[in-house]
Structure 1
C-alpha cells in the first residue's frame, strides 16, 4: 500500500468505533517508525502531531474531491477543510523537500515541481507525507481511488479489479452479511 493510503488510513473504524492512529504523540511515533523508517528516531511533539493531523485532513479533503461524484469517507466528510485551503496546505508543506512536487488541479490534476527549502526532521516528515500525496493524486492511481462502502468502514482504497467494491475481503464479507440480514429480516 502506498504511503499516502497508509497516511489517510490512520483514521479508521474498528469494532470499538472510530480510531485515530495519530491521536497522541506516542501513537504517531509508532506509526512513523513503521511507515517512515528513515525518520524512526524522530521525537514527535504535540505540535508536530497537530500539524500532521491537519495535513492528513487536507489530504483526506483532496481524496474526497478525487472520488467525487462518489461519496467521501463517512469518517470526517462533514469536518474536512475546504478544497482550495487543502490544496494550498499540501503544496506548501511539500516545499520542505529538496525539490517539491506541486499539485495543479485545473480540471484534472497534474504534477509540477518547485524549489524547496531545508528543514528539520519534523518538517521533513510532513514534506514526505505531502510529497507522497501530491505524487499519488497526480498519478494514475487517483482515477482508481474509491471509498469503501462496507458498513462502518471509513477507508479509501485503490480499485484493483473491475468488480472490486470494498477495501478488503473482510469488508466485503461484512457488506454481504449485512445485505443478507436486511433481505431476510423483511420476511
Structure 2
C-alpha cells in the first residue's frame, strides 16, 4: 500500500527517529523503488523543491492518519509536530489537485488496459500521486482497520489484518511484551 509505505518513511530505531526521506537523494531512491506505483520514470531524480513538498506532505498525511485512528492515540513519532487537521486536509487536497490525472487506454494483444496518467507539471507529479494514494486509502475500506502501533518506540501505522492483531509486526509485539514483563517485575 503506497500510502502506508509513504508514512512509514519515518521510523524509530534504537538511536531515535530515522527519516528515509532525509534529503533529495533519499527521496530519489525511495521514489525509484516505488516507480511503478507512482508512475515515475526509472531515471527520476528529486529536486530540493520536490523533497521539501513531499516531506511537508508526509506530515500532512500523518496528521490525517492520526485523525483516522482516533479515538486511539496517534503515532508517537511526531504527534506533537503534526499540522492541525484542517491545514493537513487542505495540504493533501491541494497536492492532489496540482496534477490531475486522465485515463489512458493501452491495448496489447491480450486485452485493453486502463491507467491514469498525470496531466500537469511533471515536477508536481510525485506529491500529487502520493496525495492521491493517501486519499484513496483513507476513503477506502482498509481505513477502518488503520492503527498506530502501541509498541514502545514504534512510530508506524499499520492495517489490522487479524482480529487479535495489536502491533505492526511480531518484533513490536515481542518488544511490548518484554516491556510489560519488565514493568511487572521491576519492583520485586
| Superposed structure 1 runs of 4+ greater than 4 Å apart | none
In structure 1, how many angstroms separate the alpha carbons of the residues matched to 2:47 and 2:137? Answer: 27
How many residues are paired up?
A: 170
User: RMSD over aligned Cα, in angstroms?
Assistant: 1.5
**TM-score (norm. length: structure 1):** 0.86
Contact 1:136 1:142 in 2 (8 A): yes
**TM-score (norm. length: structure 2):** 0.86
Matches within 5 A, 1:69-84: 69-84=71-86
Q: Which residue in the other structure is 1:10 paired with? A: 9
CA shift digits 1:155-174 (9 cap, x unpaired): 00001111111000110011
Gaps of 5+ in 2: 103-117
In structure 2, how many angstroms separate the alpha carbons of the residues matched to 1:97 and 1:127? Answer: 8
Matches within 5 A, 1:1-187: 2-37=1-36, 38-39=39-40, 40-95=42-97, 96-98=99-101, 118-187=119-188
The residue matched to 2:17 in structure 1 has which SS? strand
In structure 2, how many angstroms separate the alpha carbons of the residues matched to 1:126 and 1:49? Answer: 9
The residue matched to 1:13 in structure 2 has which SS? strand
Q: Which residue in the other structure is 1:105 paired with? A: none
Gaps of 5+ in 1: 100-116
CA shift digits 1:74-112 (9 cap, x unpaired): 11111111111111111121121315xxxxxxxxxxxxx
- Between structure 1 and structure 2, the one with the greater Rg is 2
The structural deviation recorded for 1:181 is: 1.4
